[in-house]
Chain A
């Protein structure tokens, strides 16, 4: 019975709405008066923006005493009387939404999330790239998580263990980084090569390289729950804990250091000490090329999978 009523109502309502839309489309300015109580009126379906043209009474301030909702198609006032101009999408010039406007979308997302207060779309792609790069900036020593006030420094959420389901968004305190683990075996890199410790024996100081995959001990890595990549009882280690691009990656006895802890971000393997990526030096994909640390740039020489 209820359902039937709804249907009937909808059928009746549609023509009314259509009529209203037509009426509004022809009329770009409307007047709305409120001397202290909430009043509202319908907006056309394709409304893009409403502007206050003239204040007639009260104190008209956007978001305070007047406003609108493009979803509910409603213009409201509460303590403001004025003449408002309604701009429709068709009437708007050069400001229609574009799915290709990456910078604007990113800025808008940041503003909605409260990362930034403003979202003006004057940002260039250059800014955009810089913003992306700054997005997970590794601190040099203070652990992986951002100091208060350092905007935008969170590790990537596509890391399977990054957001603990019950802990909400707050990242865990430094030192309790969820490292993953549970992966074992050869790690495939670019050019069909595998991550490999040079030579047959893995000893303290053995250098990480890429090499044709053969699955022997010096290519078998066990990613532990603490984030270590253990190969033949040694830990994959950023030599000397260096934070530089080009830092050597070697085997070293496991010591629980941050420079021996890794996390996976998409197809990147990153150091927990600074978020830098495991990188095939110079992008040369020949067997024996050293594997080093480098700023993450999404290139194929930083792509790995188990």
Chain B
């Protein structure tokens, strides 16, 4: 019983904290985008240029191509530890898999990501500012949905 009381007190405390609900927590996501940006900006000049973006693409690719064969297969996509993202990437596969071999080649990934780079680079200076990154990421889910729809 005492234990229960402790729990309900904790629940009330949590409720107070979580009253800033998830809509507001979603605003915390720019914090993640920001950190990723700072990591990607290797020379710390405040911009992610094409060379730095290239590094980002390569490292991202290798995080998924576990068997190092230069392709991200459906199996490797399914190994992504988040079901929603698995679905998103599978849908992206339909869009980006130009040769229809049910796997993403490195080149297809680069082309898809360059496309996103261009969309994010709103002032067309061939580099991403933090602001451009945050703006893109804020519309990311919608964009992913739209991109997945395009190729129907």
Contact = CB atoms under 8 A, between A and B. Distances in A.
A132 B59 CA distance: 21
A70 B70 contact: yes
Interface in A148-178: 148-154, 156-158, 163, 168-171
A53 to B, nearest CB: 12
Contacts of B126: 61
A101 to B, nearest CB: 6
Interface of A is mostly: loop
A287 interface: no
Contact of A108 (B25, B63, B152): B63
A32 to B, nearest CB: 16
B140 A114 contact: yes
Interface residues on A, range: 35 or more
| The 3 residue pairs across chains A and B that have the minimum distance between CB atoms | A282-B7, A137-B22, A122-B39
Given A71-B70, A114-B92, A119-B56, 14 more contacts: A68-B106, A104-B63, A106-B85, A107-B36, A112-B109, A118-B56, A120-B39, A120-B40, A120-B56, A121-B39, A137-B21, A169-B144, A245-B14, A274-B22
Interface of B: 3-4, 6-8, 10-12, 14-15, 18-19, 21-23, 25-26, 28-29, 32-33, 35-40, 48, 50-51, 53-54, 56-66, 68-72, 77, 79-89, 91-92, 96, 103-107, 109-110, 112-114, 116-117, 119-120, 126, 128, 132-133, 136-145, 147-149, 152
